[in-house]
Structure 1
Amino acid sequence: MRTRLTVGIAALCAAVGIPAPARAAPLEPVSAATTATALPVVNMEATVLAAQIDPRRPDNTLTPGAKSSVLAVEQALQAQHLLDAQWVDGYFGTQTVTAYSAYQRSLGYTGLDANGLPGTTSLTRLGQHRFTVSHQISAGAKVQRDGKVVDARTQAMLTEAERLLGARLKLDQGSYNPGGDPTSAGTHDGGGVVDISVTGMNAATRTATARALRQVGFAAWVRDPSQGDWPWHIHAAAINDTDLSTQAQHQTGDYYLGRNGLANQKPDDGPKVAIHTWEEYQRSH
């Protein structure tokens, strides 16, 4: 009959005069958080900014701070068979915008929701098991201002510009206005874009208003009748608004490249300020 061994390992080692082995630390389970932190991180702010600027560049210069994030997005689009390998280069040019728009449509999105600018939902879904998303942006809900429609992000930006100016701003035209003023060339079809009344403003006040708008993250210009078939007004497009129409995306990209946001692409004629987004402004104040 076999006798069951009941002597512990430590006692057995002591009996034969050898040191007991060190107890191994128990293995810790791998948590979902641990797995997530091992993935690359896509900075949404930088990625969306590159998607506005890069297609407007005359060359393949990369948007500063965006390369690794754009590369991760492009690699994911390539894995979806939406982007050829030759365009996986960290440059969010027209090919990448087109591919991202196709990805949005594959999710069932249409119209502004498939404008080629990464939104939080689509970007997060694209990144499943590939990357996580930081610095998320949201245009927010649609709200009313002066009888016009704007998104919550634009409303907050206008409110802060008013605080800087110490004056109320009145809208001549809001956002989400397809088929509106034909001279707007589609810039108001999506979110983030407004025209501001300059009634009662002198030249200095118009310039100060454009400056305050730029300070909070708008690409803003004073428009006069010599530039087009329109009255005096201030045109402002919220940089990085994920609902920007294609035409408005081009304007914000041109603003970063020192242009006037018009079809003639002449030099920027607005007040000079450090260019930044609304989120960057918030972090610095």
Structure 2
Amino acid sequence: MLATVAVTGGLAAGAVQASAAPHAAPAAAPAALPAVDMEATVLAAQIDPRRADDTLTPGAKASVLAVEQALQARNLLDARWVDGYFGTETVAAYAAYQRSLGYSGLAANGLPGATSLTKLGENRYTVTRKISPGAKVQRDGYTVDARTQAMLAEAERLLGFKIVLSQGSYNPGGDPSSAGTHDGGGVVDISVTGMSAATRTSVARALRQVGFAAWVRNPNQGDWPWHIHAAAINDTDLSSQAQHQTGDYYLGLNGLADRGADDGPRVPIQTWEEYQRTH
């Protein structure tokens, strides 16, 4: 009996000692990674290089900074350019990063694509509001991307009639007067045959409403007939020339080489994704 009591007492004492031991502190939760807003980042990459000053694109600073810090960490961008301003140095650095992944052509145009932006941010940031041009499709005998097609369809719905293309996208060298704007995606020319001046303006307005930088072009401006030129803002397949046009549109310019004042109908400027969120 005494032996039994001793063993039992020993167990009890051990139990008391165990219960008195301090609990291990829970492991600290890993810090949440910052988020990069892809929509804002791509927009800044179009507007910032066209500015005459260092004004930042509203809502883009934190995202651009995260991207620039990641490019700096890869020795692609000097520290002095890590400032939240997606200017020409950052565009060039991002294009170099795209080439380092084996991309070329439009896939290395300096505009962040969803895949490259996500890879650049591994263990550094997450990507929100991802955008993509989508697959290439046919419209009126021309090639456009799915995002552009959806935008055109919505513009037609607003207008109540069909609009017909006179030039599509992905058409490098197809029309020298286009100065490379149609080399990539997101850019179309629209036929205005039979349209009155008021109707041409209405079409340009509808295109702007759904997220195009759009202008009525006349023969006095270049070696071309009357038409409407439209570039889809934030299409990540835009050629460098088309990127410049969309940036100039935000700065109140006409998208031509003379960088004159915008001569199109005034509407609140927005991207296709912004339009979709409000309609």
TM-score (norm 1): 0.91
Of 228, 245, 248, the residue aligned with 1:254 is 248
Determine the structure 2 residue equivalent to 1:16: none
Q: Deviations over 1:27-54 (max 9, x none)?
A: 4795xxxx4x711110000000000000
- Cα deviation for residue 179 of structure 1 reads 1.1
AA in 2 matched with 1:168: K
Determine the structure 2 residue equivalent to 1:223: 217
Alignment of 1:162 onto 2:156? yes
Determine the structure 2 residue equivalent to 1:238: 232
Determine the structure 2 residue equivalent to 1:6: 11
Q: Deviations over 1:15-72 (max 9, x none)?
A: xxxxx76995994795xxxx4x711110000000000000000000000000000000
Q: What's the C-alpha RMSD, in Å, of the aligned pairs?
A: 2.1
Q: Deviations over 1:203-253 (max 9, x none)?
A: 000000000000000000000000000000000000000000000000000
Alignment of 1:105 onto 2:99? yes
Of 43, 51, 60, the residue aligned with 2:45 is 51
Aligned mates of 1:192, 1:28 — CA distance in 2: 49
Determine the structure 2 residue equivalent to 1:17: none
Aligned mates of 2:168, 2:13 — CA distance in 1: 80
After superposition, the Cα gap between the structure-2 partners of 1:229 and 1:21, relative to the gap in structure 1 and judged at 3 Å, is: same
After superposition, the Cα gap between the structure-2 partners of 1:207 and 1:22, relative to the gap in structure 1 and judged at 3 Å, is: farther
Of 166, 189, 194, the residue aligned with 1:195 is 189
List alignment gaps of at least 5 residues for structure 2: none
Determine the structure 2 residue equivalent to 1:279: 273
Aligned mates of 1:8, 1:142 — CA distance in 2: 76
AA in 2 matched with 1:170: V
Determine the structure 2 residue equivalent to 1:143: 137
AA in 2 matched with 1:199: T
Could you say what secondary structure the match of 1:227 adopts? coil
Alignment of 1:65 onto 2:70? no
Aligned mates of 1:169, 1:150 — CA distance in 2: 14
Q: Deviations over 1:98-125 (max 9, x none)?
A: 0000000000000000000000000000
Determine the structure 2 residue equivalent to 1:120: 114
List alignment gaps of at least 5 residues for structure 1: 14-19
Of 89, 112, 134, the residue aligned with 1:95 is 89
AA in 1 matched with 2:179: A
Aligned mates of 2:7, 2:20 — CA distance in 1: 25
TM-score (norm 2): 0.93
Q: What is the identity percentage for the equivalent residue pairs of Structure 1 and Structure 2?
A: 75
Of 185, 196, 205, the residue aligned with 1:211 is 205
